[in-house]
Structure 1
Amino acid sequence: MSSTKPFEILILGGGIAGLTTALSLTKFSPSSQPSPRITIFEIRPEPATIGGAVNLTPNALRLLSDLGALDEIRQANYGAECGAVEIFDLYTNTKIAESSFRGPDGQGLGDPPFQALRITRGEALKGVLAAIAKHSNIKIVCGKKTTKITEDDSGVDLKFEDGAKAHGDVLIGCDGIHSVTRLTHVEPSRKSIYSGICNAFGFAPRRILPNSTDFEPTHFETSGMNFGRRGILLTSFHDEARDSIYVGALMQVPEIASRDGWKAKGADAEKTRKEMLERYAGAANPLVEHVIQDARDLYLWPVFTLSKGGKWATERVMLIGDSAHAMPPQGESTGIVFEDGVLFARCLARWMETKRQEGVPIKEAFDAYEKLRRARIDTAFDESQSVVKTVQDTPWWGHRIKIYVVPWYLWWTRGYREGHFVEDVTVRELGY
């Protein structure tokens, strides 16, 4: 083994982006060199295992499998297998389309094939944390609020609110839409923008039919998106037991008081529930009203975005995930974050293996990553804008047009979407 000093990597953000990036940096580090020493700094007292439910698409599951996290998720029986996201007209309960992950033979998409997994953010994070625990080179330090970031030719220095300091060769900002890394160092002028959309969500225990031990039936197999005039309501199973339904209301809310999501309590929770009931009134399937009525632990989460483009890096600091390119939800957000981490890790590993000893600036690896990633992110950003338009309040005639157009749009873009689902960025040519 080379006697090269271990590379010191600092990561701000102990969420799913920071954790999977740490796993990627470990997985793809050059075998000829010591594993990089990675320290993840999280502002919260412990990694947050709360949140709604996400759909991990085939490309996301493939990467989690490669990083060792999917085995942890499977062993814990987290999530509900999802063969397709079905789309319904709220007012007729008619299934108008679906986005399928089953593949031509029903086994999934890609090589190896995967379908999708609807899972709570908390359980996904727990699975990744379990994988992190198996790597001694990764350390998580919680309760650290960064107040200053400086860099020079020797590396990057962090100063924290409690007076502590840290030094590393590079810093990776995985600290989300309101990124301290971006706002205090990389591009302070690039601030978050409220999209006009909020996600109100909670978890509803399934009702039992009168005089029976059977659950109230659902119109969806695993996940159903119910299109209405005033937003989209997601109803979905999220675990193997299927005794609880995740309900998420993506809806237009012109003004919002807080930039952060919060748990609605007391009168606020009932106000949120009332708003959801009003927006999705007139549903043909009584289940829709029931899950809104029964939803517990209601959260209201405003969707903030960044402008398209922007600066992602300095000479020794790189932004990953939402800190670089937050956008409205467009069905692949989590998978995009995983791909970010893997591609960046591979670019950095190539530099460590072939360029580091030659004195080539590490910025060359950063530039190679951006060259690989910019076009994909720009396309995803453009796609996300159509989601905003779909969620906006519409008159009845607008809703009818929407219900007619959506199936054709999904049919027209199927090949394009499946192309992303089968892509494996672990073997993509880096080009440098």
Structure 2
Amino acid sequence: MAPASPDALKVIILGGGIAGLTTALALTKFAPPGQVPKIDIYEIRPELATIGGAVNLTPNALRMLDYLGALPIMRERGYGRNIDYLEVFDIYSGKLAESSFSGPDGNGVGTPPYKALRITRGDALKAVIAAVEAQDNITITCGKRTVKIDETAENVTLQFEGGDSVTGDLLMGCDGIHSVARLKHVEPDRKAHYSGVSNAFGFAPIEPDFKVHFECTAINFARRGMLLTSYHNPQGDSVYVGGLMQVEDVGSRDGWKSVGADAEKTRESLLERFGDSKIPCIVPLIKKATDFFLWPVFTLSKEGKWCTDRVMLLGDAAHAMPPQGESTGIVFEDTVLFSRCLTRWIEKGKPNTMKEPFEAYEKLRRKRIEIAYEESKNVVSTVSDAGWLGHTIKTYVVPWYLWFTHSYREKHFIEDVTTVDIGY
């Protein structure tokens, strides 16, 4: 791919996760001819992390990844497992509902059509990293801890631990919920808070004759949480087991690391919560999982500041919320919409300040994020501990909710933010 253009923007991205990497791809993809930006990504870890659970990439997420060049790599390498429909179960009584991604003719939704893909975070990141490494204008530097951010009318400078620094025209804060860009510069008082629920996950290797109750992915509701069971590769020889459940706050990040490191205690907790399942494979899958990790779900307040004059926050750094089925796709849409707004500003000759594209992006994005935030609160209440009556009510409400929101969700799956009117 083309190298950075001599007089193009110099962009600094904090965070080498999925948000930072896709932001770099989007800024490159949408750059006007002769204006390919020089992009430097800085990651605090000593190397890019390619670990984590499994995520559901909805049709709108796949559309963005295809456009950014990462989906073809996923397909070529055989990453992930296609999802025609997601199944919902009550572990005590059986199947409650389905949520389909197949569309009217069975090929998917949108034009061109996409279904959904269950994929490990590690494999998703590997594909995105490969797409980034094919771009001559993007560099990635790991092991860089930012200690100070200085901004002037002309540029923004990052000071790193050890004394070195970097200066650019624009800083993208894509460094997650505990964002340095937010906490050291954009809005220091807006700190993450624990949602009250945690995600416990592991991977269970299975034999060819092991019987499961789902086609690809199942959400299994219980009185004390929700267990996701899903294939995540074409071979079907491993099942992702992820429990979203109410867990008491331990009070500190170090405390959570200590609790999360005890895999057997996490397994015991899952067996306590889901061990009375009437679905035969649930207990064996929990027992088969080779390891378990426990991750507390942190969130940010609904309202908050996303930018200064030369710094913009994207993804969890701006609007972290509990998982609600589309979180990853929302991040990809963030990156594409912002890149389109910035490109329009470049095409207009980079007038005055970056206020114009920043405001255009927020006008496009705030309402969608607010809706997603409200949806995520429903997830927390749904997976929180409930008695017999509360759980019984849930088994009636969940199928109705899926039916009632079907048209809204499909409309969003079909939407293509690469072509939507950005309003200026």
Match of 2:202 in 1: 202
Match of 1:396 in 2: 388
Q: Write out per-residue CA displacement over residues 138-164 of structure 1, whole angstroms, 9 at most, x where no aligned residue.
A: 100000000000100120000001211
Once residues 294 and 30 of structure 1 are traced to their aligned partners in structure 2, the CA distance between those partners, rounded to angstroms, is 52
* 1:19 counterpart = 2:3: no
* 1:277 counterpart = 2:271: yes
Alignment of 1:27-176 (within 5 A): 27-31=29-33, 33-92=34-93, 94-176=94-176
Match of 2:190 in 1: 190
Match of 2:223 in 1: 229
Contact 1:14–1:41 (Cα < 8 Å) also in 2? yes
Q: Please report the RMSD computed on the Cα atoms of aligned residues, expressed in angstroms.
A: 1.6
Identity percentage over the alignment? 60
Once residues 259 and 127 of structure 2 are traced to their aligned partners in structure 1, the CA distance between those partners, rounded to angstroms, is 27
Gaps of 5+ in 1: 209-213
Q: Write out per-residue CA displacement over residues 378-420 of structure 1, whole angstroms, 9 at most, x where no aligned residue.
A: 0000010000100111111111110011111100000001111
Alignment of 1:298-317 (within 5 A): 298-317=292-311
Match of 1:253 in 2: 247
Contact 2:5–2:37 (Cα < 8 Å) also in 1? no
Contact 1:262–1:299 (Cα < 8 Å) also in 2? no
Once residues 265 and 272 of structure 1 are traced to their aligned partners in structure 2, the CA distance between those partners, rounded to angstroms, is 8
Match of 1:289 in 2: 283
Segments of 4+ in structure 1 off by > 4 A?
Answer: 1-4, 260-266
Gaps of 5+ in 2: none
Contact 1:263–1:299 (Cα < 8 Å) also in 2? no
Contact 2:57–2:118 (Cα < 8 Å) also in 1? yes
Once residues 98 and 86 of structure 1 are traced to their aligned partners in structure 2, the CA distance between those partners, rounded to angstroms, is 5
Partner residue of 2:332 out of 335, 338, 350: 338
Once residues 3 and 281 of structure 1 are traced to their aligned partners in structure 2, the CA distance between those partners, rounded to angstroms, is 59
Once residues 163 and 423 of structure 1 are traced to their aligned partners in structure 2, the CA distance between those partners, rounded to angstroms, is 45
TM-score of the pair, normalised by structure 2: 0.97
Aligned length: 421
TM-score of the pair, normalised by structure 1: 0.95
Are the structure 2 counterparts of residues 265 and 386 from structure 1 closer, same or farther at C-alpha, using a change threshold of 3 Å? closer
Contact 2:182–2:313 (Cα < 8 Å) also in 1? yes
What displacement does 1:282 show?
1.1
Once residues 175 and 379 of structure 1 are traced to their aligned partners in structure 2, the CA distance between those partners, rounded to angstroms, is 23
What displacement does 1:6 show?
1.8
Secondary structure at 1:328 match in 2 = coil
What displacement does 1:367 show?
0.7
Residue identity matched to 1:430: I
Are the structure 2 counterparts of residues 178 and 265 from structure 1 closer, same or farther at C-alpha, using a change threshold of 3 Å? closer
Contact 1:14–1:175 (Cα < 8 Å) also in 2? yes
Once residues 344 and 272 of structure 2 are traced to their aligned partners in structure 1, the CA distance between those partners, rounded to angstroms, is 55
Match of 1:364 in 2: 356
Contact 1:305–1:327 (Cα < 8 Å) also in 2? yes
Residue identity matched to 1:331: G
Residue identity matched to 1:73: M
Once residues 202 and 349 of structure 1 are traced to their aligned partners in structure 2, the CA distance between those partners, rounded to angstroms, is 41
Contact 2:202–2:289 (Cα < 8 Å) also in 1? yes
